[in-house]
Amino acid sequence: MLISIVAPCYNEEAVLERFHDRIQAVAEDLLPLGHDMEFVYVDDGSRDRTLAVLKRLAERDARVRYVSFSRNFGKEAALLAGLRHASGDAVVVMDADLQHPPELIRRMVQLREEGHDQVVARRTRTGDGLARTLTARLYYRLVNRLVDVELVDGAGDFRLLSRRVVDAALALTEYNRFSKGLFAWVGFPSTAFTYENAAREAGRSSWNLRGLLNYGIDGLLSFNNRPLRAALWLGMVLLCCAGLYTAWIVGAALIHGVQTPGYVTIITAVTALAGVQMVMLGVIGEYTGRIYYEVKRRPHFLVKATNVERTKDLIP
Ligand code: UDP
Ligand code: MG
C-alpha cells in the first residue's frame, strides 16, 4: 500500500523538519510491512520560511512533494490541494504542527487493513481552556440536531482515508468546503479511536475567536437548509401569536372601549420583530452569499511553486 501524508502548513518553519523526521521514522517502521509512503506538503501562502524548508526537505528526500500557494487560501483549500496531489492508495491528512502524533499512523494503517475506509483519530480536549471545551460541547450538540451528517467533537482533520473516499471527496467540487462534514457526508465504513490531545510544539495557532465562530457558522450552514426551515417556523409561530394578540386587543376594545396607552407593548413588539427579521435576513443572506461564491466558480487556490509535475491545478 502506498500511503500519502497530506499536511497543510501555514507558517510552520519552526516544526516542519521535526515533523518530517518523526513521520519518516514511522515510514521506516511501515516499510517492512510492505507499505510505502509519500509526503504531500501544502504551503498555504506562509509568510515565514516554510517554503524554503519544504524545498530543502524535497532535495533530501525524493518522496517529498510540495505545493505552494500564491497566497493564504485557508486550511480547507490546502487540504483540497493536498488530496488532489496525493497518489496513494490511502491518504492520511494531518496538521503539520505535531498536534497529531505521527506515531498513530501505524494504528490507522492497521485499521485500514482490517477494512475500514475512514479511520478517524479523535482528540480529547486535555489542555484546552474550559471556555473553549464548553462551547465546543454545546456547539456539537446544537449542530448535530440541525445537520444531516453527524459531526463528532474532537474528530477533526486527522484521519486516514481510503482511495475511494478521497476520490469521492474530490468529486465534491463545492467552493465552501467544510471537510469535517464532507468526509462525514461521503460515508463508507468508518472507525475511530481516541488519543490524548497534545499542545502545539512551536509557532502559534492561527485560530482566533472570530475564526472559530465563522467556522462554526459554516458547519451549520454548509450541509442543509434547516436554518431556513427554522426561520419559516419561527415566522409562522410569530404570526399566530400576533393573530391571537390582535384578537385580544380588538375584543378588549369592543368591550371596554379604546384605551390608548400601550407604548411599552408597541416598542417591545417593534424592536423584537425588527430583531427577528434581521436575523432571518441574515440567514437568507448567508445562503445567498454561498450561492454567489458557488456560481463564480473561482479556483480554490492558485499554485506559486511545486515539484509535482502536474500543472493542471494552476488553472483548475
Ligand atoms: N493551516 C493552514 N492554513 C491556514 C491556517 C492553518 O494550512 O490558514 C494549517 C496549519 O499549518 C496546521 C493546521 O492547518 O498544520 C492546523 O492549524 P492550527 O494549528 O493553527 O489550528 P489548531 O490546531 O489550533 O486547530
Ligand atoms: Mg494546531
Measured from the CB, is residue 157 less than 6 Å from ligand 1? no
Question: Looking at per-residue confidence, does 67 or 99 come out higher?
Answer: 67
- Name 123's bridge partners: 195
**284 CB contacts (<8 Å, ≥6 apart)?**
228, 231
pLDDT band at residue 90 using 50, 70 and 90 as cut-offs:
very high
Cα–Cα distance between 157 and 179 in angstroms, integer?
8
Nearest-atom number in ligand 1 for the CA of 74 is 8
Confidence (pLDDT) at 127: 67
Q: What are the pLDDT digits (tens) for 20-70?
A: 999 999 988 888 888 999 999 999 999 999 999 999 999 898 889 999 999
Among 95, 132, 213, the mutation site with the greatest number of ligand 1 atoms within 8 A of its Cβ is 95
Ligand 1 within 6 A of CB of 97: yes
Mutate to test the pocket of ligand 1, among 48, 75, 204 (most ligand atoms within 8 A of CB): 75
CB of 206 shorter than 6 A to ligand 1: yes
Measured in angstroms, how far is the CA atom of residue 205 from the centroid of ligand 2?
6
Residue whose CA is closest, atom 16 of ligand 1?
95
201 pLDDT band (50/70/90 cuts)?
A: low
Whole-structure pTM value: 0.77
Number of helices followed by number of strands (H, E) in the chain: 10, 8
Give the mean pLDDT of the chain. 84
- The residue-averaged pLDDT of 264-270 equals 84
What share of the chain has pLDDT > 90, as a percent?
Answer: 24
- Decide: 72 in ligand 1 pocket, CB within 6 A: yes
Cα separation, 186 vs 169, whole angstroms: 7
User: Which stretch of DSSP H or E encloses residue 233?
Assistant: helix 226-256
The atom of ligand 1 lying closest to the CA of 205 is 20
pLDDT in tens, 287-304: 888 889 889 888 899 988
* Confidence check: pLDDT of 313 > 60: no
- Identify the pLDDT of residue 315: 44
How does pLDDT run across 220-239, given as a tens digit for each residue?
A: 777 777 778 888 888 889 88
